Chain A
Amino acid sequence: MKTTRTPALRVRDGLSVRLDPRALAVVALLVAAALAASILLIGTGDFSIPAGDVLRTLAGYGDPRQEFIVTELRLPRVLVGLLVGASLGLGGALFQSISRNPLGSPDVLGLGQGSTAGALVVIVLFSGSATEVALGALAGGLATGLAIYLLAWKQGVHGYRLVLVGIGVSAVVTAANGYLLTKADIVDAARAVVWMTGSLGGRDWDQVWPLLVLCAALLPLVLGNARGLRMTEMGDDVSYALGVRVERVRLLLMVSAVMLTAGATAAAGPVGFVALTAPQLARRLTRAPGPNLVPSMVMGATLLIVADWASQRAFGADQLPVGVVTGVLGGLYLLWLLVTERRAGRI
């Protein structure tokens, strides 16, 4: 029998890591695309800066005026975009893998709705500041994640039950949000709707640091358990037999995914469809089985930054929140998927 040798990185003590050249190339290309779009996005706005000047300013050699605009106004916004996109992409990949369902994204499970409920309570009932809104959203998202997990628990969390319970919870929370919106005065309602769409407008360093700390803390934890997660995709019994503590891995990763999603939503609002589409796109590019965690994460960051740049270019600075663009792009992507997969006879 002829076997193809998988490229791998080996250390003397017997530790070896598989390398997938295609996945590595995809990740490298996506990172390059995200960085290029970031440079362009920093240069875009009422006061446009050529890409060369942006690079020079970032390196510390810009003139003071450009330096203020770049480092104080636009760099933090781009960083928030990258971090939010990465968190959503990673969270989406985790949820889709845990629920074993391409529709099992945080949007469908109601985590976004939960965060929205938290934010709406702060906006409508207390007219809170931006920081308080973010905290409310964080609390709402975490509480909803906990509720879904506990309600779906019945001698372990089964993927399909998780999705169904999520849909039920989502319906109740959506109704509560609708009620809060009808009770708000029009100014609060307008503010709430902008928040609910998901926007990067006006984000500064205060949003960057907490999100960066969150990602830095959770990323090693998630990647450390990626192997176990990949095993669980083969079914619970097989993974038990292979020595994976299934419920522990699942709980750990679900908590991480909820925290990533809730953190991202607190920073930028519930930006739709990134968590749903990024893992699907990444999977199609790498053609690798398994959860594709790192490619999904990079894809999420790239998608969000490109969507924000497209919205700024097409409609002018801060006219259209990025969430609108990701929603429309997500829908068109699904349609494209539908047409091509139909042609290939897969569904």
Chain B
Amino acid sequence: MPPTHRAIRAVGLLASVVVLVLVALASIAIGAKGLSSAQVWHGLFHDSGTYADVVVDDRLSRTVLGLLVGAALGLSGAVLQALTRNPLADPGLLGINAGASAAVVTAITFLGVTSLSGYVWFAFLGAATVGALVWFLGGSRGATPVRLALAGTAISAALYGYLQAVMITDDAALGTMRFWTVGSLGSATDATITQVVPFLVAGTVLALALARPLNALAMGDDTARALGANLHRTRALSMAAATVLCGAATAACGPIVFVGLMVPHTVRSFTGPDLRWILPYATVLSPVLLLGADVIGRVVARPAELQVGIVTAVIGGPVFILLVRRRRTAQL
């Protein structure tokens, strides 16, 4: 790559970070109660217990969660797309959302868990179990992209059948699940956030470290092997990173679709196929989308709010269709 291109990409990444900071500040300032920039500043650095400070505090933890969850969704999508060599792969395709949903509904209906911080662990456990199951059914050692996708679809189908059966027979489960399944940043408490943050951070580090081996994988199995890449280890680690990231994000916020599909897809169109650029860009731009959608959701339905999962799909769907239409069909 010529040095000027690298410089342009680095500047672009820096600019994206600046945008992210601005969106994060907007996410603190905008909401049912509007705050001036002075109030935001005061609330961020002093805690004098005034009403405005409490609001800032509350929105700050929500914003931090949005940042981490956004990055996690974008990264897990990018890693899965590289792993399956399929530009349409997202965590939902591998059954991770279905696993988390089925585990949460089980916790509510059969184990009597009622608090959000209680079922975080179930969501995480469900996501991890299904991730591992897909990995083994997909053929572990000889896992190919198509096998993984098919195994994910099959397990999702069976689990959604179970989910619906429970929701039909148990009104309490339905009452909780209909809010949980749309995906929201607002429902997580500070306790939940501290529970999932270590996983989100660890998954992010692991995923970013996988850029180079995944680059080798993209050239096809034979070339990658000839280059000395350990295919099996790279696939297993990628699957683990994607599962941890998406599982933790889903545990905290419910299944938020489309961020993981859309952002890496869009990023690839201007960075090219090099994952050493795609992964950092996805890490920065996914939270921009997620926090932006969250702010929009708070503004359009003020004083109530629209769940972030709904807003991302409503924004993401048309953008995705535009992308599909713009490409020549031969490339797809």
- The proximity string for A residues 324-341 relative to B, scoring 1 for CB distances below 8 Å and 0 otherwise, is 111110111011011100
A161–B164 contact, CB under 8 A?
A: no
B239 CB-CB contact with A under 8 Å: no
Q: Complex Cα distance A189/B159, Å?
A: 21
Q: Is the CB of B164 within 8 A of A171?
A: no
Question: Beyond A328-B161, A335-B151, A338-B147, is A181–B178 a contact (Cβ under 8 Å)?
Answer: yes
B155 touches which of A164, A189, A331 (Cβ 8 Å): A331
Report chain B residues within 8 Å CB of A328: 157-158, 161-162
CA–CA, A169 to B318, complex, Å?
8
Residues of A165-201 whose CB lies within 8 A of B: 165, 167-169, 171-172, 174-176, 178-179, 181-182, 184, 186, 189-190, 193-194, 196-197
Residue in A169, A182, A339, A347 whose beta carbon sits within 8 Å of that of B144 in the complex: A347
Expressed in whole angstroms, the Cα–Cα distance for A338 and B144 within the complex equals 12
Of chain B, the residue at the smallest CB distance from A276 is B157
Contacts of B307 in A (CB 8 A): 178-179, 182
The complex places the Cα of A136 from the Cα of B164 at a distance, in Å, of 22
Q: How far is the CB of A200 from chain B (nearest CB, A)?
A: 14
Which residues of chain A come closer than 8 Å to B167, judged between CB atoms? 193
- Contact partner of A178 (CB less than 8 A), chosen from B162, B182, B258, B318, is B182
Chain A residues in 8 Å Cβ range of B150: 334, 337-338, 347
A263 in the interface (beta carbon within 8 A): no
Is residue B181 contacting chain A, with contact meaning CB distance below 8 A?
yes
The CA-CA distance from A171 to B179 in the complex, in Å, is 17
Which residues of B lie under 8 Å from residue A175 when comparing CB positions? 182, 309-310, 313-314, 317
Given known A175-B309, A175-B310, A190-B174, contact A334–B325 (CB-CB < 8 A): no
Judge whether A193 and B174 touch: CB under 8 Å: yes
Is A342 an interface residue when CB atoms closer than 8 A count as contact?
A: yes
- Asked if B226 is at the interface of the complex by the 8 Å CB criterion, the answer is no
Shortest CB-to-CB span from A289 to chain B, Å, is: 21
Cα A103 to Cα B318 in complex, Å, equals 21
> A327, B160: Cβ atoms under 8 Å?
yes
B168 at the interface (CB under 8 A from A): yes
**A182-B182, A194-B168 as given contacts; A171 in contact with B161, CB under 8 Å:** no
Chain B min CB distance to A238 (Å): 17
Report the bound CA distance from A164 to B162 in whole Å.
27
Q: Is B156 an interface residue (CB 8 A)?
A: yes
The verdict on B273 contacting chain A, using a C-beta distance below 8 Å, is no
* Cβ A273 vs Cβ B175 within 8 A: no
A334 close to B157 (CB less than 8 A):
yes
- Are A171 and B257 in contact, CB atoms less than 8 angstroms apart? yes
Out of A171, A193, A338, which one reaches B151, CB within 8 Å?
A: A338
Return chain B residues, CB-CB under 8 Å to A324.
161-162, 164-165, 168
Say yes or no: B332 contacts A160, CB within 8 Å: yes
A273 contacts which chain B residues (CB < 8 A)?
Answer: 157
Cβ of A340 to closest chain B Cβ, rounded Å: 12
Provide the residues of chain B in CB contact with A168, threshold 8 Å: 317-318, 320-321, 324
Q: Verify if B154 is at the interface (C-beta below 8 Å from A).
A: yes
Q: Are A171 and B258 in contact (CB under 8 A)?
A: yes
CA distance A182 to B177 in the complex (A): 10
Contact status A325-B161, CB under 8 Å: yes
A325 CA / B160 CA spacing, docked (Å): 11
Complex contact A171–B317 (CB within 8 A) = yes
A165 to B320, CA, bound (A): 8
Closest to B149 in A: A103
Interface residues of A in 196-231 (CB under 8 A from B): 196-197
Closest beta carbon of chain B to A165's beta carbon, Å: 5
**Residue B88 CB within 8 A of the other chain:** yes
How far apart sit A174 and B153, CA to CA, in the bound complex (Å)? 17
Residues B3-56 near A (CB distance < 8 A): none
Within 171-198 of B, Cβ neighbours of A (below 8 Å) are at 171, 174-175, 178-179, 181-182
Q: Within the complex, what minimum Cβ distance (angstroms) separates B167 from chain A?
A: 5
Q: Which has the most chain A C-beta neighbours within 10 Å: B306, B313, B314?
A: B313
Q: Kindly supply a per-residue 1/0 record for chain B positions 123-160, scoring 1 wherever the CB is within 8 Å of any chain A CB and 0 otherwise.
A: 00000000000000101000010110011011111111
Please state if A179 and B310 are interface contacts (CB–CB under 8 Å).
yes
| Minimum C-beta distance from B321 to chain A (A) | 4
Contacts of A193 in B (CB 8 A): 164, 167-168, 174, 178
The answer to the question of A321 belonging to the interface, with a C-beta cut-off of 8 Å to chain B, is: yes
Q: Which residues of A contact B314 (CB under 8 A)?
A: 172, 175-176
A191 to B95, CA, bound (A): 27
Compute how far the CA of A182 lies from the CA of B297 in the bound complex, rounded to whole angstroms.
14
With contacts A167-B88, A178-B310 known, is A323 near B320, CB below 8 A?
Answer: no
| For the complex of A and B, 8 pairs with smallest distance between CB atoms | A331-B158, A327-B161, A331-B157, A175-B313, A172-B317, A334-B154, A328-B161, A178-B182
B residues sitting closer than 8 Å to A (CB atoms) are 88, 137, 139, 144, 146-147, 150-151, 153-162, 164-165, 167-168, 171, 174-175, 178-179, 181-182, 257-258, 306-307, 309-310, 313-314, 316-318, 320-321, 324-325, 329, 332
Q: Can you sample 12 A-B contacts with CB below 8 Å?
A: A103-B153, A164-B332, A168-B324, A178-B181, A190-B168, A272-B161, A331-B156, A335-B151, A335-B155, A337-B150, A337-B154, A338-B147
